[in-house]
Amino acid sequence: MKKILLLLLCAGPLFAQAQDPLVDKLADEVEPKVIEWRRWIHQHPELSNREYETGKMVAEHLRSLGIEVTYPVAHTGVKGVLRGGKPGPVVALRADMDALPVTERVDVPFASKVRSTYLGQEVGVMHACGHDSHTAILMGVAEVLAKMRDQLPGTVVFIFQPAEEGAPPGEEGGAELMVKEGVLENPKVDVIFGLHISSGLEVGKIRYKPGGALAASDRFVVKIHGKQTHGSRPWAGVDPITVAGQVITGLQTIVSRQMDLTNEAVVISVGKIQGGVRSNIIPEEVEMIGTIRTLDTAMQRQVHRAIPRMVQNIAEAHGATAEVDIQIGYPVTYNDPELTEAMVPTLKKVAGDKNVILSKAITGAEDFSFYAREVPGLFFFLGGMPKGQDPATAPPHHTPDFYIDESGFKLGVRALANLTLDYMRAHQ
């Protein structure tokens, strides 16, 4: 593989400079469909492992193109195999399909009105991270490449994945389950490409980073056990709420005082805290749930050792006890450096040199990491912010006001199609 990639490094700038007029023409033709598909998916969002209608829609579209379809995979996922007219490598392209338990506030005609149940609570459901865009873009890429089938020197595997945001408690799902069920086998995938729309990156731009691009994401649950008493007599009990406050502060000192932040970033955040029933009762127990983000596996292990030590010692100092459960989540999303360097000329070809930005790692996480752990991968960000908008004013992902400018979708189609073709042509 290294010899092949080094050959591609030398050949890349030579073959990647010429535009492919057929890809551009087909991307122009499919753009209205991509927007229409995206709007339908946006208006009909489905939570993780519940993407029934989205999966059916994707499978029907791929079948209509003459693509071999396996459905369902990993509950509601879809695998499509497009065999080209010439021998060559196997390139996988991935999109995620699930939505989030967020109630939409964006004033668009296709806004989601869907309600569902999440962790026992009634919630709004919204594509607040752009997975509807990813699915529609990859459906467009499938149509473009299917029309070029006879010219393809290789095979394309289309992966439409459920549950990127995480499977519901007690269920398996997402990229890890897709890999487990053999989505990268039969045919055996050589490389994989994926994209993520960004509400804070201007339309027409692409952002990438070789090596560790997105953080590993782990979940922790802390239960602090005290002694219940009347709120007017705290000395008669052990207050787990007070202990929880100390624990939250202590966790932040792990980041600020125990981690070498000149190496890589580390984040520890408590996202949920629950305890007590009324104002004048000090409860017996408090539960805290949080996330750990790391970009270095050695630092990840260090954090996993430090959290139980910090929590349990603080609890003991107050006469309480504590349980800590750290649940391993997504690995670091790692862009193969040689593959990335080889394919950057393709990204510059489709977006323009000035619009392809080398960026720093971010502490968001992506389960694309499970694919890139198995085969060389490249995962990049596609601009979805309206031109001229200040990124500081762009609503973040996972929020009710999340908004994407659809004029950036065609670049996504062209980028994935050209990455596929250029890689294949270099390896035929």
Residue 330 catalytic? yes
Encoded tokens for 276: 């007590």
**Strand runs labelled E in 51-190:** 68-73, 77-83, 86-96, 115-118, 121-124, 153-161
**Identified catalytic residue from 68, 181, 341, 406:** 406
Per DSSP bridges, beta strands 216-225 and 285-294 are: antiparallel
Our answer to whether residue 406 is catalytic in this structure is yes
| Exposed e or buried b per residue across 187-196, where buried means at least 16 C-beta atoms within 10 angstroms of its C-beta | eebbbbbbbb
HSE value, Cβ hemisphere, 13 Å, CA-based, for 161: 34
> Helical H runs in 118-239?
131-146, 174-180
Rounded Cα distance between 371 and 193, Å, is 10
| Catalytic position from the list 176, 208, 330, 403 | 330
Q: Residue 388's Cα: distance from chain center in Å?
A: 26
Max CA separation in the chain (angstroms)? 80
**How far is it, in rounded angstroms, from Cα 365 to Cα 295?**
10
Peptide bond into 32 cis (omega under 30): no
Residues 382, 338: Cα–Cα separation, whole Å: 21
Instruction: For residues 76 and 424, give the distance between their C-alpha atoms in angstroms, rounded to a whole number.
Output: 29
* Residues catalogued as catalytic: 330, 406
